[in-house]
């Protein structure tokens, strides 16, 4: 059994400026379910990861607000066609702005089945999966901590959607899926629960 530490893949540094204003991004954001077969770049993946959960201060604060700064979210990436990244399941490491590979291989088919055969999942070159470790917030806030984690997932998902607009990328937040099958596909333990799927690609006109 391999017990060696998993290697972190460094992502390109995120950009902190854009030609797209926040008002333009809000105006243009749409749920898009059809994508071309064009791949995503590692720079695009980097920017989307940072938008969702990137660190924005020396104190460790992130792009999305979190109750008590406890950060229950774990962001996974199911990469199928990303330039410079082997197909597989990756977990975003906000502190290092990197990806850790959790499992090799293209998991598109398994996610598509877990996602109730929604076409956006099968067409996308990558699918972000937002998960939560509820215990992180429930230790302080009891049962209400679960609600705070769900709210945080919404904040982070909107960040990713708006960042996608600025990159000329399309996505759709998906909440209809088989929780247990998504968890198995990602190799999640019992403490980590899937909340959101966000397939990302280039919009098909």
The DSSP H or E segment spanning 195 is strand 193-201
Helix axes 144-166, 42-53, angle to 10 degrees: 140
Residues contacting residue 77 through CB under 8 Å, at least 6 positions apart: 45, 49, 89, 90, 91, 92, 99, 126, 127, 128, 129
Q: What is the pLDDT of residue 118?
A: 98
Q: Could you write out the three-class secondary structure of 71-115?
A: CCEEEEEEECCECCECCEEEEEECCCCEEEEEEECCCHHHHHHHC
How many other CB atoms are found less than 10 A from the CB of residue 132?
24
Dump pLDDT digits (tens) for 9-50.
Answer: 999 999 999 999 999 999 999 999 999 999 999 999 999 999
Q: What is the pLDDT of residue 78?
A: 99
Q: What is the pLDDT of residue 6?
A: 82
Distances (CA, A) of 93 to 25, 65, 164, 193: 26, 17, 20, 17
Domain 20-201 grouped into CATH 1.10.1270.20: no
Among 59, 108, 119, CA closest to 81: 108
One digit per residue, the tens of pLDDT, for the chain of length 205 reads 444 568 899 999 999 999 999 999 999 999 999 999 999 999 999 999 999 999 999 999 999 999 999 999 999 999 999 999 999 999 999 999 999 999 999 999 999 999 999 999 999 999 999 999 999 999 999 999 999 999 999 999 999 999 999 999 999 999 999 999 999 999 999 999 999 999 999 998 8
Report the predicted TM-score, pTM, of the whole model to 2 decimal places. Answer: 0.95
Domain ranges across the chain = 20-201
The DSSP H or E segment spanning 8 is strand 8-10
């Amino acid at each position: 059994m391999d017990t060696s530490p998993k290697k972190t893949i460094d992502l390109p540094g995120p950009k902190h400026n854009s030609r797209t204003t926040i008002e333009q991004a809000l105006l243009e954001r749409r749920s898009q379910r059809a994508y071309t077969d064009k791949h995503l770049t590692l720079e695009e993946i980097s920017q989307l990861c940072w938008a969702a959960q990137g660190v924005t201060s020396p104190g460790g604060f992130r792009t999305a607000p979190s109750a008590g700064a406890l950060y229950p979210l774990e962001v996974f990436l199911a990469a199928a066609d990303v330039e410079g990244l082997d197909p597989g399941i990756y977990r975003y490491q906000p502190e290092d702005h990197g990806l850790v590979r959790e499992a090799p291989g293209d998991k598109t088919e398994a996610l598509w089945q877990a996602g109730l055969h929604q076409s956006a999942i099968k067409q996308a070159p990558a699918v972000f999966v937002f998960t939560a470790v509820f215990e992180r917030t429930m230790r302080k806030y009891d049962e209400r901590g679960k609600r705070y984690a769900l709210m945080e997932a919404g904040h982070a998902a909107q960040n990713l959607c708006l960042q996608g607009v600025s990159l000329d990328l399309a996505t759709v937040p998906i909440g209809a899926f088989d929780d247990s099958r998504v968890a198995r596909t990602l190799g999640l333990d019992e403490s980590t629960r899937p909340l959101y799927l966000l397939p990302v690609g280039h919009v098909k006109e």
